[in-house]
Structure 1
Amino acid sequence: MIRSVHGKLAAIMLALFSILGFILIIITLFSNRMYFQEASQRLNRSIAKELVSHRVIIKDGGVNEPVMVEIYNDLHQVDPGVQVYVLDRFGHILASSVRSDELLLEHVALEPIFMFNSRKGKLPIYGDDPMDLNHRTIFSACPIPTKGDVEGYLYITLGEGEDVSIGKMLAASHIARLSIYYALLGLLLVSITGLILFNYLTRRLRKLTSSIETFMPPDDGEISLPEDAEKKIPRDEIEKLQMVFDAMAKRIKKQVWDLEDGDRLRRELVTNISHDLRTPLTSLQGYLETLLLKKNLSDEERERFLETALKQSDRLRRMVADLFELSQLDAHGVRTHPEPFSVCELAQDIIQKFQLSADKKGVRLISDFSSHLPLVVADIGLMERTLENLVKNALQYSSDGGIVTISIHQEDEEMVVQVQDTGPGILKEDLPHIFNRYFRAGDSAEDAPEGTGLGLAIARRIVNLHEGELEVLSTVGIGTVFSFRLPVLSQERMACGTDS
């Protein structure tokens, strides 16, 4: 609940309302207390003046004790918290209604009394409480006598000071308690209303998040969230929506890139086909036109021209087939179908297939591997095409007396397949380009006119399709070695296949 936007908003709202309610309650209680004190002091403002006007409090330079007792008794019947003090004109306490041992002050500040009698200060006005050093209280005061030279002051504390606690006020006032109850009830009703409104306002956000999640396809291994987001638990709907949006944006970018890449590959294919087919078509057209124009050709010359035209036609056929295969590999249109097989048996079949061609060139085609090597897992058809291209390339660049070797050995959990020749080798500056289309190292193109120039490019794409890399090592004058690696069939997978 707290992880959702609705939950967070509700928690924040409740916290704010609680703080606001607490502040309002404190302000209300404080205001009520201040109002009560102001009303009490205003109501009793003239009490001291009335007493001084009608009674003789200071007589013959001293305090009239019987009058003091009478004043205290009258006031105490009305308010038991009232205390009466007689001050001299400097504020010293001359007499009081309390015992002398209860007095903690011998002197009362006169500034509040002056302010009270001048009627310039705003009520409530607080004065000293002789019975409490830390307590200030509301009062009523009047100079003695009311007219003429001041001999002293009648100072009456009203028994409700500024330090009255809220707890005491609540305990003593039913109205105050009732106000608190109503305030809490109002806060509860507002909170419930806010929760309902937040739930209503955020339901569209939750619906949008759910709709986007439903729209997103299952993860197919190609489109996924960033690594840091995959382990991250969304804190609310907004962050969840952000994560889903990022995944959708990533998917859309990849789809746009795939479309652009596919369009680029199609344009390249059209360009390459028009360029690659021009040479054999031109050659084929030239020989056929010669046969048509020259009527006096001998049978031997006519046969030679026809053989050349047939050879160009066959080269054109092979080039079209290679171009189509390479374009499919470049456009990711070929899917592998891995299965366990013996790469040694496959290599032996390749050797038998090219043995006749090797014998015609005077090249020895030999094998270097054990028949007891474990099985590998790969697409056997694509691996056959790879080995054919590598062996064909090795034979093309090997002269009479050369050797082409297919060697296979195991390294840890991989099988290393190598095709080695004793040809002229490849220059160091040519090595980065040998997998490019139609690239021929040095002047060797004249030594292998029957090649299409696409074999190595196709072989590399196939190895890459198996998540491998076609590597090459070459030394000028000694020969070249092409190698790649295939995964060995594991015991777990072999057991799984047996159970199946």
Structure 2
Amino acid sequence: MKRKLSNQFLINFLVIFLLTILDTVLAFVLLSFASRLIAGSLAKNQYPASAIIKEDYRQIDASAVVQNGGGVQVVDKDYRVVYSSGLDTIGKDKLTVEEFTTFLTESRSKSYHYDILYQPKGEFWLIVTFPTSVRLDFSLVHNKEAAAGDFMRAGWAIAFVVLIYLLMIALFAFIYSRITAAGITIPLKKLCDGTRLLREGDYSVRVDLRLKNEFAELQNTFNDMAARIEHEISLRKKSEEDRRRLILDISHDLKNPMSSIQGYAELLMRKTGMTEQERNEHLGIILNNSRRANQLLTELFELSQMDSPDFTLKLGRTDICEYIRQICGELVPQLEREGFKYEFDILEESVFVLLDTHRFSRIIQNLANNAMRYNPKGTLVAVSLTIQNDQVVIDFSDDGVGIPAHLTDNIFKPFVRVDDSRNSKTGGSGLGLSIAKKIAEAHGGNLTLHLNEIKGSTFRITIPTI
């Protein structure tokens, strides 16, 4: 790609070079045409020496020349200036032979135009002088009577100069085209290298062109694209890992109750002479494990429903303070039965929110179940409701064993439990907090964990007021 683009630049500059030469030639032609076009209107051409010369210089009328800014001088055969009117560039009354000869040979001055004519009868030279307006002298003279050798040498010299000139221009065009091409091909090569690495799976690649032109915008776009792809790939990998872990957790949590159900069912079918008490104990184990499996499948279905784009809440205008007081009242018998202390601090005023009362009660119930499941008897469970920045803040706290610090970032993920052994003694599915957090988020709020400084933990529910 670099070679092709560089050659294209070289071709473009060569075309420009040829067009420049053509334009130069046309410029000279146009200047020559313009010179001939205005020649008749110039004062030096309107009043030449031939138009005013007389046999007797005393009869010469120089008034028109003088009025147009020119001058007239007459030099006799003894090189004396016998007449002068208007502009005088000679500045002497008499010239020597050498001075007059020099004047004649250098009469093509850059500043003045001289028209010199000799009058043989009067034996004098008439000099008409005008200041030069603009002069561009370029001429190529060829005389067939010149010596053949001189003509050949002059021709070769001219050809050599033209060739060197063209070679220099071509060299400059080549160097400039390469420099200009490099300013484009080098950034493009870096971008291509970055794209290739990105295609090969290196999503950490970034391009640094150190430019401030359009390539810098392209660089920023590329880097932003690479960063987004890297982020998306990272999320995809994490999602894939979470999916694999979820499948393993589901398999593990279903395997235990299903294996227990299968084992005790086979035992009931094979064992004879079983007492009524033994049979009822085995059936009770089968029933409990069936309930565990059914609860897990139900909560998995509910969690998948919340991840669906079709999931909606049945929202209604609700006095959240009164609603939370009712929920806490329903928790009191359960807390007392399990031997837990309780404390409620709810605002007396009415605060209204949009609430799906059936779904939202799951949050409080799940938090209460976890508090009673993982903490010893005598633990204090506290519920408070305050208003902060147009947000209802519900804190569900306990002063129990608390939650290990290494679980704080993952506690709301499916199948994350405080008991790392994943045994069945606590009876939890590991999905309650995941469901509770999704319900809070569906209400436009959130559910977060705050570890208490001394002991226990606090789950904070936020929901916007209306």
Partner of 1:188: none
2:58 corresponds to 1:69: yes
Mapped to 1, the partners of 2:49 and 2:400 lie a distance apart of 129
Q: Which runs of 5+ in 1 are unaligned?
A: 1-23, 56-66, 117-124, 128-134, 165-237, 490-500
Partner of 1:479: 456
- 1:346/1:156 Cα in 2 relative to 1: closer, same or farther (>3 Å)? same
Query: Per the alignment, in what secondary structure is the counterpart of residue 482 of structure 1?
Result: strand
Partner of 2:112: 136
Mapped to 2, the partners of 1:417 and 1:273 lie a distance apart of 31
Partner of 2:75: 87
Partner of 1:13: none
Partner of 1:107: 91
- 1:115/1:34 Cα in 2 relative to 1: closer, same or farther (>3 Å)? farther
**Deviation (angstroms), 1:141:** 1.0
Mapped to 1, the partners of 2:320 and 2:238 lie a distance apart of 34
Partner of 2:128: 156
**Deviation (angstroms), 1:313:** 1.0
Mapped to 2, the partners of 1:302 and 1:90 lie a distance apart of 160
Partners of 2:249 and 2:415 within 8 A in 1 = no
Query: Per the alignment, in what secondary structure is the counterpart of residue 115 of structure 2?
Result: strand
- Mapping for residues 64-463 of structure 1, pairs under 5 Å: 67-70=56-59, 72-73=60-61, 84-87=72-75, 93-96=81-84, 98=85, 102-103=86-87, 105-107=89-91, 113-114=104-105, 125=108, 136-137=112-113, 139-142=114-117, 153-157=125-129, 162-163=132-133, 264=240, 270-329=247-306, 334-335=311-312, 339-441=316-418, 448-463=425-440
Q: Which runs of 5+ in 2 are unaligned?
A: 1-25, 93-98, 135-213
Residue by residue over 1:19-65, the C-alpha shift from the partner in whole angstroms, topping out at 9 and shown as x without a partner, is: xxxxx9999688524654499879998949x969xx4xxxxxxxxxx
**Deviation (angstroms), 1:417:** 0.6
Q: Structure 2: which amino acid aligns with 1:32? A: A
**Deviation (angstroms), 1:449:** 2.5
- 1:34/1:430 Cα in 2 relative to 1: closer, same or farther (>3 Å)? same
TM-score (ref. length: structure 2): 0.57
Mapped to 2, the partners of 1:259 and 1:34 lie a distance apart of 81
Partners of 1:142 and 1:155 within 8 A in 2 = yes
Mapped to 2, the partners of 1:313 and 1:257 lie a distance apart of 40
Mapped to 2, the partners of 1:89 and 1:467 lie a distance apart of 118
Partners of 1:337 and 1:378 within 8 A in 2 = yes
TM-score (ref. length: structure 1): 0.54
Q: Structure 1: which amino acid aligns with 2:371? A: A
**Deviation (angstroms), 1:452:** 0.8
Partners of 1:471 and 1:484 within 8 A in 2 = no
**Deviation (angstroms), 1:361:** 1.8
Q: What count of residue pairs does the alignment treat as equivalent?
A: 342
Query: Per the alignment, in what secondary structure is the counterpart of residue 423 of structure 1?
Result: coil
Mapped to 1, the partners of 2:409 and 2:390 lie a distance apart of 29
- 1:91/1:372 Cα in 2 relative to 1: closer, same or farther (>3 Å)? farther
Residue by residue over 1:444-467, the C-alpha shift from the partner in whole angstroms, topping out at 9 and shown as x without a partner, is: 966952211221222233334434
Mapped to 2, the partners of 1:273 and 1:440 lie a distance apart of 13
- 1:400/1:439 Cα in 2 relative to 1: closer, same or farther (>3 Å)? same
Mapped to 1, the partners of 2:72 and 2:283 lie a distance apart of 144
Mapped to 2, the partners of 1:279 and 1:89 lie a distance apart of 140
Partners of 1:398 and 1:423 within 8 A in 2 = yes
Partners of 1:406 and 1:420 within 8 A in 2 = yes
Mapped to 1, the partners of 2:87 and 2:276 lie a distance apart of 151
Mapped to 1, the partners of 2:410 and 2:238 lie a distance apart of 24
Query: Per the alignment, in what secondary structure is the counterpart of residue 347 of structure 2?
Result: coil
